[in-house]
Amino acid sequence: MKISEIFEQKKTVFSFEVFPPKKTFSIESISTKLAELSECKPDFISVTYGAGGGGASALTLDLCRSIIEDYKLTPMMHLTCVNSSREDVDKVLAMTAQYGIENILALRGDIVPELPRQTDFTYASDLVSYIKKKGDYHVSGACYPEGHPECDNAIDDILNLKKKVDAGAEHLVSQLFFENDMFYSFQEKARLAGINVPIEAGIMPVVNKAQIERMVTTCGASLPAKFVKMMTRFEHSPEALRDAGIAYAIDQIVDLMSQGVDGVHLYTMNQPYVAKRISEAVASLRSI
């Protein structure tokens, strides 16, 4: 099923993100976790391209196929272009057709100094346009409530996002954030700019201090005072910090749903326990 159809059927879409195992591991190493995550019945599951800068690994494709065949759910495959040539993308698209993968999240991808940067696609919007020409895909894009880290100002960031949507992106997934007002402000600017596709709010439940330090360094998300106090208060108790992080994420999601958000995209970090706790807490809200 295409994600555009899911948004037509659901008042609030609720989806997960997972990542494939490292290259040294087989797909079976995540099978148990994926089986548990599937019990939460997310509307779709996005699969990252994994570490190392590749466009889309074989494990990413295999995991998407497993989501379709073994769990009867809808996958959204991440595909990056910064280290991919047009030929590389064509090979991946050929595999998606073989596996029945209809949904792709088109990304530029992180620049890895050790890998030669390809020149066929400069921006994610170039990849979006190319994929739409190659087949009947639902193509999604990423957005950044606090602005893309490499963009000089919020206006240019919104204008670049508009180019991505105009190129064919039918749905947007936001980078993680910890202050809902930032998302609401971004969403209002996007709508004023004529960006009318569904925007999913990206929520990451933080369950340990190392995780938040790594993610803030990677994506530049700001930390509200309430969140910092929580981390400081419980950082020396792993169980307390985990439960506090889950509670914080639930609070964000309840507020987002009460404001009529198009969807919530939960960055699960491959942790079924956390995803289940959150899914159960908001289950009744998803049907209203």
Query: Which positions are catalytic?
Result: 17
In sequence order, what E strands does 48-110 have?
75-80, 103-107
Distance CA(244)–CA(237), nearest Å, equals 10
CA atoms within 13 A on the CB side of 244: 18
Distance CA(29)–CA(20), nearest Å, equals 9
The closest alpha carbon to 50, from 112, 99, 98, belongs to 112
**Torsion (CA) 40, 143, 177, 287 in degrees, nearest 10:** -30
Contact between residue 195 and residue 10 where contact means Cβ atoms under 8 Å apart = no
What residue type is assigned to position 19 of the chain? Answer: F
